[in-house]
Amino acid sequence: MSLALIVMLPFLGAVLPALMIRAGRGACAIATGSVTLLAFALLLTHVPAVLRGEVVQVGWEWLPALGLNVTFMLDGLGLLFAGLILGIGLLIIIYARFYLSKDDPMGAFYTYLLLFQGAMVGIVMSDNILLLLVFWELTSLSSFLLIGFWRHLPEGRQGARMALAVTGAGGLSMIAGMLILGNIAGSYELSVILQNRELIQASPLYLPALILILGGCFTKSAQFPFHFWLPHAMAAPTPVSAYLHSATMVKAGIFLMARMWPVLAGTDAWFYLVSTAGLATMVIAAWIALFKDDLKGLLAFSTVSHLGLVTMLFGFGTPMAAVAGVFHIINHASFKAALFMNAGIVDHETGTRDVKRLGGLLFLMPITATMAMIAAASMAGMPLLNGFLSKEMMLEEAAQTSWAGQGWIVPVLATLGAVFSVAYSFRYIVHVFFGPKRDDYPAKPHDPPAGLWLPPALLVALVVLIGLFPETFAGALVRVAAGAVIGAQVPDFHLSIWHGFTPALWMSVVAVVVGLTLLRLYPRVRALWQAGPHPEAKAMFDAVIDSVVLASRLLVLGLHNGSLQRYLAFMIGAAVVLGFAAFFGTTHAPGGRDTLPVGWAVMVPWVMLLATALLGVVLHRYRFVALIIIGVVGLVVSIGFVYLSAPDLALTQISVEVATVILILLALYFLPKSSPIESTNGRRLRDALLAGVGGLGVGALAWAVMTRDFATLSGYYLEQAKPAGGGTNVVNVILVDFRGFDTFGEIIVLGVAALAIFALLDGALRGRIARSLEGWVPDDPVSADRHPIMMVVVTRVMLPLALIVGVYIFLRGHNMPGGGFIAGLVVSIALIMQYMASGFGWAQQQMRVDYHAMIGAGVLIAAATGIAAMVMGYPFLTSAFDYFHLPIVGEFELTSAMPFDIGVFLTVVGAVMLALAQLSNMGLRLANLPVNTRPMDFDPAALRADGGKER
């Protein structure tokens, strides 16, 4: 349980900074640091068990059908990275408290930092690769917020976007690779995958999985050629840079390579892909770092170089190379975090981090200079410091490695990388802190308060202690972490300062001598650098992004031009092509099911349906005629339902047709009588061919289905409607019981559609659109007798009868044709008739119902019915029924589906009436009539004086 708490604490604590900032910056920092300190303390409680070689595990099922479970594990590798993330994170929190200015939103910064911290801890402690992927993507999102924290800076926004684009693309690659890996192993649990080395490496999918996973690792850890995003992330505040470059973001890819080492390493593909990328990154980034004048830029490229060093070691695939890689992870985290914080101090106190404007700070900032010299010397690999030990181990492994059968390539390039490392490390020392004092510093240099120098000082102390006493301060942790990487017994090794006169020692001596010589000749070397080509990664990235955006825009605008005709042509054309390909691509036989005889009762409606369909094609431009044709089609379909003994569907179809035709008729009032001819003859011919072929294909498919025997659920529904649902009307039982969740979703969609209609029409009642419509005059005269008295009388007499019919249909629906949906349509039609006969103003005054609330009440009542079932321990929307007996009334049935049906009824009535009310309201506004005008208040004389027209 404590493992899950360690992961969740940063997420849960992320709300504290946002709240505590109101109590002051100090309180905000203390609250943030307390969260990380508590998580770190919980982690330390597991140290004894992990050092004994145990693996602590905890987990719960989440989505077992998908293989996604919440499982965590803590072994040596997880302990190493979690300790770095939380330990250095605590120092960063302290440092940030004194680094950020009063204008910076500290609460937001600490919130982003804790979210990022939690995502990183989740990565290193996940035992499920799908869960790991969730945390992996969270690091990309939270780092985007941190890198772009100073959003007023263009370079900050650019760096954040670049980091998100590159690492996000790599994340997609890794998702695919991990899914393949889990499919090969038959499990998504890391503890299972790591036990299946032979199975995974023997699979033909091993190489695709390897390439895809390495795509995610290389982009996250800025390996060549994806190295360019990391230096641009320097636009972030220095605490972010120190955290990302030492213990978190860029170490995620390194961690994953180490985690997957037991099952992916040991093949030629692994060796050439990983070691080559690491070696190239180490040398190229170190060479670039030598000529960077921005302190953070220099350190950023040095980080890329050292990440390449660790990647190269893991790529060698030997146990001792893995041990060296683990040891350098510890050392790099300590001296690099200290150096970044040191660069932040220099910038904070001098007002610049441009090397060309610095120098002579040794005696002006002695504490800062001392820390910088120790940490930079460790980065250069100088003796008695921790960087020297892991550098020697790296050179030893490089000396024993051959590439493509050539034993000199790796040692020479590794030494060359070490040369550049010595040169840029001592450049940081000499060009910043030595030399004469200047009188043109942007600000007067001095050492900062303890809040800024104490966190890096603790890391510098660790650099010295590990360098002098490596076995005491790092030996046990390196062994247990390396054991988790190797997945087997760790080879015998001893961390010590002196290993004798080995090839690695001579390579190190060459690196130091040549590196210092490069620094001595720096002006000449820089002149050579400036004379050569300088491919700018940012410019190339921007060019690629611009090209992709342009190509996407051309593609989208070429396809998505707003023509519904074109979209339908693509969709139907694709369906036709795929259908014909499937039909002619396999064998098939005609169905053996006997057909039914066709009598006049079937033939006449079928001919009417064909005739109306053809008329619809020919006369679709005349909107009123098209509406009549649609109504006829609906009535013919209703007749078909009656013929096929489906009275429920027939009632529903007729009710829907009546309500829909009336609403569309109201909408047509605001539209021209006919639509313009927009298609050319060629396009109409294309559409006719597509429609004909598509129709024949659908008809053939229907014929193929109907002439074959097949099993459906209808038999189950017919058998279980009465015993399981308590009703003999199978259709209604399906709607409110068997498929109640579908119905629940449908009424929600219906309510949303009504609200969308209301919002669209409401926008037309105000502003520029309303002013434009108010000047519109109908083409034809409108009758002065807006509300015929006979229609008014008949509809008012019919209203109570219609309501009684609606109630009757509702109550009988469970056992006979009817139900909440049909009853809602019947009541809606009755109310629509009142609006049509007596006018919107009068009808609205009588109703005084909030249709928004009616829709909401319907959905809530339906939801409450489902929740009640859950409270009783049953699945959502499970229904129950029973029979009761009352005197006089006799025996009757009650079912829990009734309140659900009431919800359906209210939603249907509310949706139809809301659309009607808004259309009517719009009509009154356009007629320049007050909304509350009664229908009998009009003056016929005035209307006749106006030529018999109403506006």
- What Å distances lie between residue 166 and 229, 309, 536, CA to CA? 7, 21, 16
3-state SS assignment for residue 35: helix
Q: How far is it, in rounded angstroms, from Cα 760 to Cα 769?
A: 11
Residue 916: inside a domain, yes or no? yes
Domain co-membership, 501 together with 377:
yes
Domain co-membership, 916 together with 804:
yes
User: Residue range 257-276: average pLDDT?
Assistant: 92
Within a 10 A sphere around the Cβ of 470, how many other Cβ atoms? 22
Check if the beta carbon of residue 694 is closer than 8 Å to that of residue 572. Answer: yes
Residue 116 tokens read as: 């990022």
Residue 229: inside a domain, yes or no? no
Q: How far is it, in rounded angstroms, from Cα 6 to Cα 87?
A: 13
Domain co-membership, 486 together with 456:
yes
Per-residue confidence at 786, pLDDT binned at 50, 70, 90?
low
Q: How far is it, in rounded angstroms, from Cα 261 to Cα 272?
A: 14
For residue 929, what pLDDT is reported?
A: 42
Question: Pick from 246, 222, 266, 256: which is nearest to 78 by CA?
Answer: 256
Q: How far is it, in rounded angstroms, from Cα 616 to Cα 618?
A: 6
Has residue 499 got a pLDDT over 80? no
User: Residue range 714-720: average pLDDT?
Assistant: 85
Domain co-membership, 845 together with 754:
yes
Has residue 724 got a pLDDT over 70? yes
For residue 923, what pLDDT is reported?
A: 65
> Which residues, in sequence order, are bridge partners of residue 126?
72
Distance from the first to the final alpha carbon of the chain: 73
For residue 924, what pLDDT is reported?
A: 63
Place of tokens 């990391």: 230
Domain co-membership, 381 together with 514:
yes
For residue 944, what pLDDT is reported?
A: 38
In whole angstroms, what separates CA 244 from the centre of its chain?
A: 22
**pLDDT tens per residue across span 883-936:** 777 787 677 777 888 899 899 999 999 998 888 888 777 766 655 544 443 333
Has residue 290 got a pLDDT over 60? yes
Q: How far is it, in rounded angstroms, from Cα 899 to Cα 860?
A: 11
User: Residue range 254-262: average pLDDT?
Assistant: 92
* Angle value at C-alpha 150, between 147 and 156, nearest 5 degrees: 55
Q: How far is it, in rounded angstroms, from Cα 409 to Cα 398?
A: 9
Which of 520, 546, 569 finishes a domain?
520
Question: Pick from 867, 877, 861, 905: which is nearest to 725 by CA?
Answer: 877
User: Residue range 488-512: average pLDDT?
Assistant: 84
Domain co-membership, 465 together with 539:
no
Residue 709: inside a domain, yes or no? no
Per-residue confidence at 772, pLDDT binned at 50, 70, 90?
low
Q: How far is it, in rounded angstroms, from Cα 284 to Cα 913?
A: 71
* Angle value at C-alpha 564, between 558 and 570, nearest 5 degrees: 60
Domain co-membership, 376 together with 478:
yes
Place of tokens 């955006």: 549
| Residue type (1 letter), 416 | L
- What Å distances lie between residue 363 and 368, 424, 547, CA to CA? 10, 22, 52
Buried b (16+ CB within 10 A) or exposed e, 792-813: beebeeebeebeebbeebbeeb
User: Residue range 538-559: average pLDDT?
Assistant: 84
Residue 655 tokens read as: 């009710």
Transcribe 643-685 into DSSP letters.
HTT-HHHHHHHHHHHHHHHHHHHHHHTTS-SB------HHHHH
Residue 538: inside a domain, yes or no? yes
Has residue 533 got a pLDDT over 80? no
Residue 893: inside a domain, yes or no? yes
Which of 520, 546, 570 finishes a domain?
520
Residue 829: inside a domain, yes or no? yes
Q: What is the mean pLDDT of the chain?
A: 85
> Which residues, in sequence order, are bridge partners of residue 884?
892
Range of the domain at 916: 732-951
Domain co-membership, 513 together with 539:
no
Place of tokens 């099922």: 61
pLDDT > 70: what percent of the chain? 94
Domain co-membership, 409 together with 548:
no
Place of tokens 């893995």: 322
Please state the pTM of the whole predicted model: 0.69
User: Residue range 161-165: average pLDDT?
Assistant: 86
Domain co-membership, 776 together with 804:
yes
Radius of gyration of the chain (CA): 38
Check if the beta carbon of residue 250 is closer than 8 Å to that of residue 230. Answer: yes
**pLDDT tens per residue across span 788-842:** 788 888 888 888 998 899 899 888 888 888 888 899 989 988 888 887 888 777 7
Q: How many domains does the chain have?
A: 3
Per-residue confidence at 783, pLDDT binned at 50, 70, 90?
low
Domain co-membership, 344 together with 410:
yes
Has residue 943 got a pLDDT over 50? no
Residue 868: inside a domain, yes or no? yes
**pLDDT tens per residue across span 676-690:** 777 778 888 888 888
SS3 assignment for 815-879: CCCCCHHHHHHHHHHHHHHHHHHHCHHHHHHHHCCCHHHHHHHHHHHHHHHHHHHHHCCCCCCCC
Which of 510, 542, 561 finishes a domain?
561
Helix H or strand E encompassing 891: strand 890-895
Domain co-membership, 331 together with 451:
yes
